[in-house]
Amino acid sequence: MGVIKKILNDFKSSFYLGWKIESNWTDPFLFLIYSLAKPLSSAFILIIMYIIISQGKIQETLPHLIIGNALHLYTANVLFGIAWTVIDDREFYETLKYVYISPVSMFQFLAGRGFAKYLTTTISSFIIVIFGFIFLKVRFTPIPYWYIYFPVFLLVGSLSLFIIGYFFAGINFLISRQGWFLTQSATGVFLLLTGAIFPINTFPGIIGKIGIYIPQTIWIDGMRKILLGQGWNSYFMNMNINNMLSLLIFENIIYFILIFLFFNFSLRIARYRGLIDQRTMG
């Protein structure tokens, strides 16, 4: 029990620190307004772009677009937020070395910081989806027992965000100032390859098939199928939700084993080369 209590306390401390940094130590009400304005404005920009491109014929793609955009916020904020924490604490706050020598493991520390980003992103994502269903008249045609599949699929998909986040965090341990560029670039790549705004089968050749092996692709399309009754990507169009859930769990397990080994390897190399406390920006 003592070990479990220590793990929970370490996680709580990391989460509290992450929450304060995410909210910039501001007033909760002011931060709530910001949490409302930012996702809605970005969603509106994307929707307007689609209206112009489709010449107003957006009704068929609008539901998939709203859900894809809402879930991609998790990828942009949580997955790459975990990776950015390494750069943020090493380069700007200069506290990464103190975290490393503290009794809190780096794995737990990043989990707590990532969970703070997860909660703030959840607020934004749900606002976008609810706004779409209420004000944009997006159809809601869920599958049977959607109220069971929805939280389960959301949880399993969320775990994949943290798992892959550790991969990019491990890379950031080993590189210098280019880490911010890698993080921002990968966000755009995931936006395309996970089918958040375009079906991945529209991409030519092997480019579209890469998305099949990214857990977020299955997650986003599974959530569409749960809420809208159908997916968007032809690769999963005829796959039932149970098979999609099983495939997502399988990919999570494989990714976790490989990335856990890579993360610990990267941390050891960073310590050996003196990269944990090396400031490379500014």
Q: What is the pLDDT of residue 132?
A: 79
Distance CA 150, CA 140 (A): 13
* N-term to C-term CA, the chain: 45
Which amino acid is residue 264, in one-letter code? N
- Chunked mean pLDDT (size 10), the chain, 282 residues: 77 82 72 70 73 67 86 87 88 87 89 88 84 78 92 95 93 80 81 87 83 92 91 82 95 96 94 83 62
Distance CA 213, CA 240 (A): 18
Distance CA 96, CA 92 (A): 10
Q: What is the pLDDT of residue 282?
A: 58
Radius of gyration of the chain (CA): 19
Distance CA 51, CA 58 (A): 6
- Could you identify the residue written with the tokens 């969603």? 43
Q: Report which of 19, 9, 172 is spatially closest to residue 105, judged by C-alpha positions.
A: 9
Max Cα distance, the chain (Å): 62
- Could you identify the residue written with the tokens 């299955």? 218
Distance CA 111, CA 127 (A): 24
Which amino acid is residue 212, in one-letter code? I
Q: Model's pTM, two decimal places? A: 0.89
Cα-based torsion angle of the residue sequence 249, 253, 255, 260 in order, rounded to the nearest 10 degrees: 140
Distance CA 219, CA 96 (A): 32
Q: What is the pLDDT of residue 159?
A: 94
Q: What is the pLDDT of residue 198?
A: 83
Q: At what angle do helices 241-273 and 146-174 cross, to 10 degrees?
A: 20
Is 275 strand, coil or helix? coil
Q: Where are the beta strands (DSSP E) in the chain?
A: none
Residue extents of the structural domains in the chain: 2-273
Distance CA 7, CA 4 (A): 5
